[in-house]
């Protein structure tokens, strides 16, 4: 009998809990802890071996008590709480799993984790998580089996709506944290292409796109992510000539989003004055020059060189930014206002399904010059609870937890799932759950973001 403590009962939990509660092998007992007792009880109620409870992470005594009862802890809390949880796990000598990016303070616990025989496994969700595992599986297959040198690695991931739910001119709805989408990329993108370092400032990011095709799912476009350069070391690709990671959207999204960026609507650095009573039309007007008679639409088209009858204006009109509708906020940054609007417009309807898409493109030295391997992964949501996002974040954590508790994974220290010990069994199990990698036949050349 093994005990798992799950901290946080948010959107990832259904798929995670479902896998763990039903998995065979060790007998598992799960305590699901959330600051909302109601949420914890509700998500636990269908499972005889899951107990929901009220939990306050700032209550150290409760944290230590719960960690002590468990054999392994999975933290789905916001990233800022992971360090406190990790320290409690070290004290109690319990393993910890998260799907969050590793922090510097988490890294600093490595020696202690090794010394205490504890595994603190980070970045074991989708992105980060499955991206690492599928990347390393592809790279190792080339390097270890054939000894061939990797010349380029390009990787894209996107959380989108399933084709059947794609019914707005943005071809996009929020399938995860809206705030992260509104503030996405607010940092210079850094990558290397054909041996040349490339930097793209935020305000140009959504104009530097690359077309991507995924068999059976059509066309996408990608914009580069923040810092791709650091993945060279992580993936053992120090001499790689091209290293680029990006985010996937459906074609046309970025052209419209770029207009919102150009206006300054994604700015989160100041509070708007005079917001009380303002309409969305007034809001847009604050980012345009003053003119005594010209319409907001007219000024916007002239300012940003937009076709008055084109696709972008359709996207913008559909959002309702030209409407005299009261915003209903009184203290907010431009990004807050935009998020408030988008949460109404890009909301998933109950019948909507989401979709995760990922593609890796690897170039390596073959016998006849550069050869290419292109692998894709597409996961569709089942329903509003078992979304593609919940499955692809929750399952890797759940699978890793099981593998650790059964002793199939014996690693210790502060780790990421980038070695075969992790990716082989986790990807194998994901495949049985329907998350599988497709090798693409079309190896047409890359364009130039």
Number of residues engaging its own copies in binding (CB under 8 A) = 35
Taking the least distance from each CB to its own copies, the nearer of 289 and 432 is 289
Q: Which residues contact 141 (CB under 8 A, 6 or more apart)?
A: none
| Token pair of 231 as six digits | 């993945």
Taking the least distance from each CB to its own copies, the nearer of 99 and 301 is 301
363 is a contact residue toward its own copies (CB under 8 A) = no
Taking the least distance from each CB to its own copies, the nearer of 145 and 197 is 197
Taking the least distance from each CB to its own copies, the nearer of 202 and 217 is 202
241 is a contact residue toward its own copies (CB under 8 A) = no
Sites for its own copies among residues 196-225 (CB under 8 A): 196-204, 208
Name the region of 147 (left: φ>0; alpha: ψ -120 to 50; beta: rest). Answer: left
Taking the least distance from each CB to its own copies, the nearer of 334 and 396 is 334
289 is a contact residue toward its own copies (CB under 8 A) = yes
Q: Of 140, 166, 267, 421, which one interacts with its own copies (CB under 8 A)?
A: 267
Taking the least distance from each CB to its own copies, the nearer of 197 and 309 is 197
412 is a contact residue toward its own copies (CB under 8 A) = no
Taking the least distance from each CB to its own copies, the nearer of 42 and 286 is 286
**CB under 8 A: which stretch of 143-151, 267-275, 382-390, 414-422 binds its own copies?**
267-275
Q: How far is the CB of 286 from its own copies (least distance, A)?
A: 5
SS3 track for the chain: CEEEEEECCCCCHHHHHHHHHHCCCCCEEEEEEECCHHHHHHHHCCCCCEEEEECCCCCHHHHHHHHHHCCEEEECCCHHHHHHHHHHHHHHCCEEEECCCCCHHHHCCHHHHHHCCCEEECCCEECCEHHHHHHHHHHHHHHHHHCCCEEEEEEEEEEEECHHHCCCCCCCCCCCCHHHHHCCCCCCEEEEECCEEEEECHHHHCCCCEEEEECCCEEEEEEECCECCCHHHHCCCCCCCEEEEEEEECCCHHHHHHHHHHHCCCCCCCCCCCCCCCEHHHHHHCCCCCCCCCCHHHHHHHHHCCCCCCHHHHHHHHHCCCCCCECCCCCCCHHHHHHHHHHHHCCCCCCCCEEEEEEEEEEEEECCEEEEEEEEEEEECCCCCCCHHHHHHHHHHHHHHHHHHCCCCCCCEEECCCCHHHHHHHHHHHHHCCCCEEECCCCCCCCCC
316 is a contact residue toward its own copies (CB under 8 A) = no
113 is a contact residue toward its own copies (CB under 8 A) = no
324 is a contact residue toward its own copies (CB under 8 A) = no
**CB under 8 A: which stretch of 176-184, 245-253, 288-296, 415-423 binds its own copies?**
288-296
Going by C-alpha positions, the residue among 319, 217, 216, 219 that lies closest to residue 259 is 319
Taking the least distance from each CB to its own copies, the nearer of 112 and 267 is 267
Q: What spatial distance separates the first Cα and last Cα of the chain, rounded to whole Å?
A: 52
Cα–Cα dist 376/33, whole Å = 35
264 is a contact residue toward its own copies (CB under 8 A) = yes
Check if the beta carbon of residue 85 is closer than 8 Å to that of residue 58. no
Q: How far is the CB of 98 from its own copies (least distance, A)?
A: 26
39 is a contact residue toward its own copies (CB under 8 A) = no
Taking the least distance from each CB to its own copies, the nearer of 264 and 366 is 264
Taking the least distance from each CB to its own copies, the nearer of 174 and 280 is 280
Q: How far is the CB of 314 from its own copies (least distance, A)?
A: 23
Q: Of 22, 60, 69, 291, which one interacts with its own copies (CB under 8 A)?
A: 291
Check if the beta carbon of residue 151 is closer than 8 Å to that of residue 241. yes
Taking the least distance from each CB to its own copies, the nearer of 23 and 192 is 192
Q: How far is the CB of 181 from its own copies (least distance, A)?
A: 19
Q: Answer positive or negative: Cα dihedral of 397, 402, 403, 407.
A: positive
At CA 250, angle to CA 248 and CA 254, rounded to 5?
80
**CB under 8 A: which stretch of 177-185, 271-279, 389-397, 434-442 binds its own copies?**
271-279
Taking the least distance from each CB to its own copies, the nearer of 269 and 410 is 269
130 is a contact residue toward its own copies (CB under 8 A) = no
Q: How far is the CB of 321 from its own copies (least distance, A)?
A: 15
**CB under 8 A: which stretch of 38-46, 264-272, 397-405, 430-438 binds its own copies?**
264-272
Q: How far is the CB of 208 from its own copies (least distance, A)?
A: 7
76 is a contact residue toward its own copies (CB under 8 A) = no
**CB under 8 A: which stretch of 57-65, 105-113, 287-295, 382-390 binds its own copies?**
287-295
Binding site for its own copies (CB under 8 A): 187-188, 190, 193-194, 196-204, 208, 229, 262-264, 267, 269-270, 272-274, 285-287, 289-292, 334, 448-449
């Amino acid at each position: 009998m093994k005990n798992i403590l799950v901290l946080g009962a948010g959107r990832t939990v259904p798929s995670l809990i479902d896998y763990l509660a039903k998995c065979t092998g060790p007998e598992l007992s799960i305590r699901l802890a959330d600051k909302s007792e109601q949420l914890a009880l509700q998500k636990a109620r269908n499972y005889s071996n899951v107990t929901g409870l009220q939990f306050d992470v700032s209550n150290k005594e409760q944290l230590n008590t719960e960690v002590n009862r468990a054999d392994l802890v999975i933290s789905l809390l916001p990233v800022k709480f992971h360090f406190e949880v990790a320290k409690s796990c070290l004290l109690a000598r319990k393993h910890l799993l998260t799907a969050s990016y590793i922090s510097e303070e988490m890294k600093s616990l490595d020696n202690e984790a090794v010394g205490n025989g504890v595994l603190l496994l980070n970045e074991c969700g989708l992105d980060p998580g499955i991206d690492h595992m599928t990347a390393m599986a592809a790279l190792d297959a080339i390097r270890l089996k054939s000894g061939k040198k990797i010349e380029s690695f390009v990787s894209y991931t996107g959380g989108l709506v399933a084709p059947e739910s794609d019914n707005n001119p943005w071809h996009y709805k929020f399938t995860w944290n809206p705030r992260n989408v509104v503030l996405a990329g607010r940092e210079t993108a850094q990558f290397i292409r054909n041996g040349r370092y490339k930097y793209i400032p935020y305000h140009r990011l959504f104009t530097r796109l690359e077309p991507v095709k995924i068999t059976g799912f059509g066309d996408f476009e990608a914009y580069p992510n923040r810092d791709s350069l650091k993945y060279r070391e992580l993936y053992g690709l120090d001499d790689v000539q091209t290293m680029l990671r990006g985010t996937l959207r459906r074609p046309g999204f970025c052209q419209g989003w770029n207009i919102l960026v150009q206006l300054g609507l994604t700015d989160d650095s100041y509070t708007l004055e005079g917001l009380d009573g303002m309409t969305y039309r007034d809001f847009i007007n604050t980012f345009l020059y003053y003119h005594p008679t010209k319409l907001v639409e007219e000024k916007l088209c002239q300012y940003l060189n937009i076709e008055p009858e084109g696709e972008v204006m359709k996207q913008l009109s559909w959002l309702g930014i030209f409407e005299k509708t009261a915003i209903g906020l009184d203290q907010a940054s431009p990004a807050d206002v935009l998020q408030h609007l988008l949460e109404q417009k890009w909301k998933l309807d109950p019948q909507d399904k989401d979709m995760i898409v990922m593609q890796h493109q690897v170039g390596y030295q073959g016998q006849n010059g550069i050869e290419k391997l292109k692998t894709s992964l597409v996961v569709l949501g089942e329903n509003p609870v078992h979304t593609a996002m919940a499955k692809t974040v929750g399952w890797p954590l759940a699978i890793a937890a099981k593998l650790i508790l059964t002793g199939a994974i014996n690693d210790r220290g502060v780790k990421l799932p980038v070695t075969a010990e992790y990716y082989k069994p986790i990807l194998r199990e994901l495949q049985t759950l329907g998350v599988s990698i497709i090798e693409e036949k079309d190896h047409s050349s890359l364009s130039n973001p």
